[in-house]
Amino acid sequence: MTVVVVGGGIVGMAAAYSLAERGVEVVLCEKGSVGSGSTERSAGGIRTQFSTRVNVKLSRASIDVWESFEEEFGVDIEYRRSGYLFLARDEATADDFEANVAMQREEGVDSELLAPEDARAYCPGLDPEPFRAATYCPTDGFADPHLALQGYSQAAAEAGVDVRTKTPVTDVHRDGGDGRVTGVETPDGTIEAEYVVNAAGPWAGRLNELAGVDLPVAPKRRQVAVVDPETPVPESNPLTIDLDTGSYFRPEREGAALVGGHFGGDDPDVDPERFSTTADTDWTIEAVEHAADYASYFGPETRIKNGWAGLYAVTPDHHPIVEAVAPGYLTAIGFSGHGFQHAPATGQIIADLVVDGGTDLVDLDALSAARFERGETHDERNVA
Ligand SMILES: Cc1cc2nc3c(=O)[nH]c(=O)nc-3n(C[C@H](O)[C@H](O)[C@H](O)COP(=O)(O)OP(=O)(O)OC[C@H]3O[C@@H](n4cnc5c(N)ncnc54)[C@H](O)[C@@H]3O)c2cc1C
């Protein structure tokens, strides 16, 4: 049995590795170089504080891998666990926080609900005044996506994955009778395969078109900037999110900070082949102003060091679509800003689907496209 994985980002590489580990013959096609999509533009956030059980389960299973990554893959991914701190301005958001923490704790997460004043113990520069509630989990954090992808790439190659860079998949072949996948087309010829995995990140919709599949996933541009704050953000400061404005920041090294957020307004789809990969100056100034509104580290003297933009692959409820959508055609797409952290679990699920025809890791109904038709969606807010 041959599986073609389309996409050499963290999701495709994790899937290819997990499949090869289970004895499957895998060809991974990457149209550019490994990591040339969104993965290397990610901020590397890894958290358990999600609002749905399925996202918490994806996190828990992935964190098991991130924790032992150096042991298993021989690469130190610089995993720093300085926590995530969520802040609520609105009453409805504060109510959600209470429910979220209860659900997270049922799932074994060490999160807690806090009064905003008490959150200053973790984020000393916080102005608690605008907020009604906070949640904190000390074991959330972030790692280096480049190093993680390097670890997976090496392990995939060692496990026998045939990684073909500069190899765009230009068509997906399906049998005229039962619609089953028979292979893919590339400029170097046809690759016959029983399964094709769409791990094409922001290009997922284009690959779906080639396969004759229509799913709600769209590329959206997102920006982050690295700044020198007015006073250094301590390295122990959690990634702090003002959920009702979408603004967030976290410490970088030596007192610098990463600021991010998506501040509403028009959110058009972008062409993944042509978008600006540098952060806009106006957006960066706005991101710093938002952060300055609730954290004393930031102000008019904050100096912009650099910034970048990349693409989220976004679904209507900000959860991915992970399933066999057609016979032999599997998707691992639409991670809506969480694809780096959820790649290890996703790789395992894809391997389970191919080898066993199902998985015990999560309830796949929650990640199936049919949820949109059934109207059974629960929105995960689209932040870091
Ligand atoms: C600014 C920013 C910050 C982020 N921060 C976080 C974060 O803190 N935590 C987190 O978990 N996630 C974060 N993300 C999201 C994360 O980067 C993505 O969810 C993740 O990288 C998706 O990985 P992927 O492998 O699916 O896609 P990609 O890394 O985009 O890989 C897809 C690959 O497919 C290839 N490809 C596409 N079409 C074809 C084709 N037809 N043939 C062959 N190859 C093809 C592309 O060249 C690309 O290399 C962030 C994203 C951005 C932009």
User: Does residue 77 contact residue 147 with C-beta atoms inside 8 Å?
Assistant: yes
- State residue 176's pLDDT score: 82
Complete DSSP assignment for 293-315: TTBTT-STT-EEEEEEEEEEEE-
- State residue 264's pLDDT score: 73
pLDDT in tens, 120-133: 999 999 999 999 99
d(CA 70, CA 55): 24
Mutate to test the pocket of ligand 1, among 5, 39, 278, 342 (most ligand atoms within 8 A of CB): 39
- State residue 267's pLDDT score: 83
Domain definitions of the chain by residue range: 2-63+145-217+316-374, 84-137+220-311
- State residue 384's pLDDT score: 67
User: Does residue 87 contact residue 238 with C-beta atoms inside 8 Å?
Assistant: no
Is a pLDDT exceeding 70 seen at residue 69? yes
- State residue 218's pLDDT score: 97
Q: Which conformational region is residue 108 in: left (phi greater than 0), alpha (psi within -120 to 50 degrees), or beta?
A: left
Lay out the sheet containing 181-186: strands in order across: 171-174, 181-186, 189-192
**CA 199 to centroid of ligand 1, rounded, Å:** 9
pLDDT in tens, 184-204: 999 999 999 999 999 999 999
d(CA 29, CA 165): 6
Percent of the chain at pLDDT above 70?
Answer: 99
Is a pLDDT exceeding 80 seen at residue 265? no
**CA 277 to centroid of ligand 1, rounded, Å:** 14
CATH architecture of 84-137+220-311: 2-Layer Sandwich (3.30)
Is a pLDDT exceeding 80 seen at residue 382? no
What's the average model confidence in pLDDT over 64-74? 98
- State residue 381's pLDDT score: 80
CATH architecture of 2-63+145-217+316-374: 3-Layer(bba) Sandwich (3.50)
Percent of the chain at pLDDT above 90?
Answer: 94
Residue nearest to atom 19 of ligand 1 (CA): 339
User: Among the atoms of ligand 1, which is closest to the Cα of residue 13?
Assistant: 25
d(CA 180, CA 157): 28
